[in-house]
Structure 1
């Protein structure tokens, strides 16, 4: 999502609990090589070695990954300082026409978290985004309990979706991996549940996840 927004010249600040700037760049490289030619694509786990062995790789991909390098900032939530983030967003708002906060909140979908602390942090970010008129998108991984709750019309355990207008939940179904290619057993089907609270609209979209390349395509 962050990569696609940067292609549309949105300045994106991605807040994540499990990624780093380096791992995001590796994902972009793997995905780009897959889109260029699936038969010669570089799997995610081999990207760092390929960069060491082929110094020209970045140069070869530079035009394609340039928007992401220019417009995407990655902030690890462990290092998050709300005041510093607000200052950064104010600067970003002054420099760029369009801005987005992409909140990668995997930990909110577990049932053993400190929900009050997490919701408090989330609502602080929400207030900043509203004051600066910056769109905030929150994405969540679903555990089995939350997935069942949503299917049956109930809230997730944390109830975090009540705090946003639109939310997106990702779920990897428990079925066997999709038999898309015998050479890539990590391919699987995932579902995205997209819900817009203001009009009560809910959509579920199924996508093929090519795990080795960090790539999604229509299912």
Structure 2
């Protein structure tokens, strides 16, 4: 009598699986446990789990969605018990807190029409709602440190000190450039060399916005080397496609170019709610 099996069709021999194998033997993730999720599934899948301790360049044009994505990531990383060092010459701590307030309101109530003054008025009139917001934002506000333009030595000292007791991520929101300003090639080279050293020395993820002129942006988009050489300095590039939204929210397409991932070029689609700096999977 033929022995009964669980398979309706004969299985081909698998050379990678010999006999009974416990998954405990494979309970090693080879660095994946070091990755920091973005809370955007499409992006995390493309990045094989999230952000790694390396340098990421968020490349785009003036006044696009990169700043809003940094706000999203800062909140997510802070929520995951990372200390976020947020370097910006574009925004004040109060403006960043206002954007976190808008995000919190949208996540709780999905109200597209709410504004900061409206939310503050509601918080003043409702102790219950105020308590809820304070609970939601407490850890996030404690874990995000906003700086303007610290020196390299001061920045390294701050990162070193924080790394003694906690995990750290570095976010840089670069000031927008204008067409009349020439590209400072030496600046980009020095900046990303320094960021690469910081990422390797302290084992911290580093994400920086990079604003390129139209010609350089188009060159990178087509897959050719740029004059500024950003593709040589960054481990992974998020290239923000130019959006022409008809309605809000709208779909944002991001091209991912990576030297460290197995798939070197990928596309990710995200839905963006511009009034609340809020992203979700498309």
Task: Give the TM interval when normalised to the shorter protein.
Answer: 0.7 to 0.9
User: In the alignment, which of 135, 149, 153 is matched to residue 219 of structure 2?
Assistant: 149
Deviation at 1:142, TM superposition (A): 5.7
Alignment of 1:195-206 (within 5 A): 195-198=257-260, 199=262, 201-206=264-269
Alignment of 1:168-183 (within 5 A): 168-173=238-243, 175=244, 177-180=245-248
Q: Of Structure 1 and Structure 2, which has the larger fraction of its residues in helix?
A: 1
When normalised by structure 1's length, the TM-score is 0.78
Corresponding residue number in structure 1 for 2:255 = 193
User: In the alignment, which of 190, 199, 215 is matched to residue 278 of structure 2?
Assistant: 215
Corresponding residue number in structure 2 for 1:130 = 200
Show structure 1 runs of 5+ residues with no match.
181-186
User: In the alignment, which of 102, 108, 114 is matched to residue 42 of structure 1?
Assistant: 114
Distance 1:201 1:210 in 2: 28
Alignment of 1:56-71 (within 5 A): 59-71=131-143
Distance 1:194 1:109 in 2: 25
User: In the alignment, which of 154, 171, 178 is matched to residue 102 of structure 1?
Assistant: 171
User: In the alignment, which of 140, 146, 166 is matched to residue 74 of structure 1?
Assistant: 146
Alignment of 1:9-48 (within 5 A): 9-39=81-111, 42-43=114-115, 47-48=116-117
Q: Give the superposed CA RMSD.
A: 2.8
DSSP-derived class of the 2:154 partner? helix
Deviation at 1:118, TM superposition (A): 3.5
Distance 1:109 1:126 in 2: 26
Is this contact kept in 2: 1:115–1:158, CA < 8 A?
yes
Show structure 2 runs of 5+ residues with no match.
1-72
Change over 3 Å in CA distance of 1:58–1:192 after alignment to 2? farther
